[in-house]
C-alpha cells in the first residue's frame, strides 16, 4: 500500500486559467497525486472569479495573493506579482508548513522558493524544486537591463544555494544548475506528456497547414512565422497556417498577417480548447516553434505523438532542440530568419509521408521516457526519499 503523503505544490499560475507548459505540469502533478491517494494543496495567485471554485477536483487550491496581471504590455514578467506571491507563500508556510511532508515548488518565480527555503528547517518539510529554466547573466541583462538583470541573476543564484531535491526537464538546464553548484541532488525528468503513451499504428495524412500553439510573448518569436510562411508559399502556394494562443504580441501577429496579404490562408483564433489544438496537430504538415528560449518544449512531444514533425530553432537557451533529431522527427532551423524557417518547412514538405512515419517511429521508441507517468514515478520516489 502506498504511504499517504501531504504534499504542497507551489506555483503562481494554475491551468487552465493560465496556459503554459509549467501550468500543465503542476495541474497534472496535482491531479495524479490526488488520484493516488495523497493529500494535495496547491498554492497560487487567484486567477478565477471570487465566489467560484478553482476547478481542480480532489485538490485544495489556496489563493495566497489576489488576481494580478503577470506581464507588462511588452510581454515581460512584472516584478510585483512574484513579490506578492512570495509573501503569500511565506505567510502560509509559516502558519501551516508543519502539516506538509513535502513542499514542491517551481524555482521561478524565485520568491516562492526563497520563502519555502527560509522555512524548510523550522517547519520540517522536504523541499523539492523544479528548475524549468536557469538563465545566464547575459540573458538576465537582456531581459531586465544591466542593473535589473544583475539583481535577477543574484536572486537566481541565491536559490541554487538552498538545500533541495532538484528536478530539471532538459539536459541544458541540468548542466547549468550543476555548474551553479546547486546544493542537492539533480535529476532530469524528460516526461511531461499526459496523453497516450502507446502511439497509433499509422500517422494521419498531412494537410498543407503549419501550426503554432503557445503564448504570444517575445521569447516565442511568433511574429517570425508570418514572413516565413509568406516566403515558403512562393514555392508551395497551397501552404496555410494556424496560429493558436494569445499574449502581448498577438496584435503584431495579426498586423503581419495583413501586411503579408495572408488573411485568407492564416488564422489567429487565440486560445482554444485542447481538443481543437490536438486535432490541428494531428492533421498539420508540421508544428513550428520558433522560440528563442524553452525549458522543455511539450508541444514538440504532443506533435510527435500525433506523428507530426516539428521545426525548432537552434539557440543557446532553447532546450526544445533536445526533442528533435534532425531529419528523423523534424528539423532544427539555424535561426528564426524567414529564410531558415521557410527552408525547414519546405524540407518537411519535401520529405512527405516518410517523415511522418519516421516521427511516429521515433515517438514509439521514446514514449515511455517522455510520459508524465514516468516522471511522476520518479517524483513520488523522491518524496519518499528513495531517489
Q: What are the tens digits of pLDDT across the range 74-84?
A: 767 788 899 99
Residue 38 and residue 228: Cα distance in Å, rounded? 48
Average pLDDT taken over every residue of the chain? 92
Q: What is the mean pLDDT of residues 102-122?
A: 95
Which of 195-199, 213-217, 261-265, 304-308 bottoms out in mean pLDDT, i.e. has the lowest?
195-199
Q: Which residue has the cell 502533478?
A: 29
3-state DSSP call for residue 264? coil
Task: Clarify whether residues 19 and 132 are in a common domain.
Answer: yes
pLDDT given for residue 46 in this prediction: 94
pLDDT above 90: residue 96: yes
Q: Is 116 a member of any domain?
A: yes
Q: Which residue has the cell 541583462?
A: 141
Domain that holds residue 314: 209-366
Q: What is the mean pLDDT of residues 90-94?
A: 97
Task: Clarify whether residues 240 and 319 are in a common domain.
Answer: yes
Task: Clarify whether residues 189 and 213 are in a common domain.
Answer: no
Is residue 292 very low, low, confident or very high in pLDDT (cuts 50, 70, 90)? very high
The separation between CA 72 and the C-alpha centre of its own chain, rounded to angstroms, equals 20
CB neighbour class for 291 (10 Å; exposed up to 12, middle 13-18, buried from 19): buried
pLDDT given for residue 199 in this prediction: 59
Write out the three cell numbers for 372: 508524465
pLDDT given for residue 238 in this prediction: 97
Residue 325 and residue 98: Cα distance in Å, rounded? 46
Task: Clarify whether residues 163 and 42 are in a common domain.
Answer: yes
Write out the three cell numbers for 108: 521561478
Residue 21 and residue 243: Cα distance in Å, rounded? 17
Confidence (pTM)? 0.89
State pLDDT tens for residues 192-244.
898 875 655 577 889 999 999 999 999 999 999 999 999 999 999 999 999 99
CATH assignment at residue 275: 3.40.50.2000
Is residue 1 very low, low, confident or very high in pLDDT (cuts 50, 70, 90)? very low
Q: What is the mean pLDDT of residues 288-314?
A: 96
Task: Clarify whether residues 71 and 100 are in a common domain.
Answer: yes
Q: How far is CA 143 from CA 84, 146, 219, 292, in A?
A: 21, 9, 10, 12
Residue 13 and residue 170: Cα distance in Å, rounded? 21
Q: Is 39 a member of any domain?
A: yes
Task: Clarify whether residues 185 and 63 are in a common domain.
Answer: yes
Question: 257 phi and psi, to 5 degrees?
Answer: -60, -45
Amino acid at each position: 500500500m502506498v504511504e499517504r503523503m501531504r504534499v504542497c505544490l507551489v506555483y503562481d499560475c494554475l491551468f487552465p486559467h493560465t496556459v503554459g507548459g509549467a501550468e500543465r505540469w503542476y495541474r497534472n502533478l496535482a491531479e495524479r497525486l490526488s488520484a493516488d491517494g495523497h493529500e494535495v494543496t496547491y498554492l497560487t495567485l487567484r486567477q478565477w472569479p471570487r465566489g467560484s471554485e478553482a476547478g481542480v477536483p480532489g485538490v485544495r487550491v489556496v489563493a495566497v495573493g489576489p488576481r494580478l496581471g503577470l506581464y507588462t504590455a511588452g510581454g515581460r514578467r512584472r516584478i510585483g506579482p512574484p513579490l506578492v506571491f512570495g509573501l503569500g507563500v511565506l505567510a502560509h508556510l509559516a502558519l501551516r508548513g508543519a502539516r506538509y511532508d513535502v513542499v514542491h515548488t517551481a524555482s521561478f518565480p524565485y520568491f516562492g522558493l526563497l520563502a519555502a527555503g527560509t522555512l524548510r528547517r523550522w517547519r520540517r518539510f522536504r523541499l523539492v524544486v523544479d528548475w524549468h529554466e536557469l538563465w545566464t547573466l547575459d540573458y538576465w541583462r537582456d531581459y531586465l537591463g544591466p542593473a535589473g538583470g544583475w539583481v535577477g541573476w543574484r536572486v537566481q543564484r541565491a536559490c541554487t544555494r538552498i538545500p533541495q531535491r532538484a528536478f530539471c526537464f532538459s539536459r541544458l538546464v541540468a548542466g547549468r544548475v550543476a555548474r551553479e553548484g546547486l546544493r542537492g541532488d539533480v535529476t532530469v525528468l524528460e516526461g511531461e506528456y499526459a496523453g497516450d503513451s502507446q502511439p497509433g499504428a499509422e500517422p494521419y495524412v498531412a494537410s498543407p497547414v503549419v501550426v503554432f500553439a503557445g503564448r504570444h510573448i517575445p521569447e516565442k518569436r511568433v511574429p517570425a512565422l508570418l514572413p516565413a510562411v509568406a516566403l515558403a508559399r512562393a514555392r508551395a502556394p497551397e501552404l496555410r497556417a494556424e496560429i493558436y494562443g494569445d499574449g502581448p504580441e498577438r496584435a503584431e501577429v495579426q498586423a503581419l498577417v495583413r501586411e503579408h496579404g495572408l488573411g485568407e490562408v492564416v488564422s489567429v483564433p487565440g486560445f482554444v480548447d485542447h481538443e481543437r489544438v490536438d486535432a490541428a496537430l494531428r492533421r498539420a504538415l508540421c508544428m513550428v516553434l520558433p522560440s528563442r528560449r524553452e525549458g522543455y518544449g511539450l508541444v514538440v512531444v504532443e506533435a510527435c505523438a500525433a506523428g507530426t514533425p516539428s521545426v525548432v530553432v537552434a539557440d543557446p537557451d532553447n532546450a526544445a532542440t533536445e526533442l528533435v533529431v534532425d531529419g528523423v522527427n523534424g528539423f532544427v532551423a539555424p535561426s528564426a530568419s524567414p529564410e531558415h524557417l521557410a527552408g525547414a518547412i519546405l524540407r518537411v514538405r519535401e520529405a512527405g509521408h516518410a517523415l511522418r512515419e519516421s516521427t511516429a517511429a521515433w515517438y514509439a521508441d521514446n514514449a515511455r521516457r517522455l510520459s508524465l507517468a514516468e516522471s511522476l514515478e520518479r517524483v513520488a520516489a523522491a518524496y519518499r526519499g528513495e531517489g
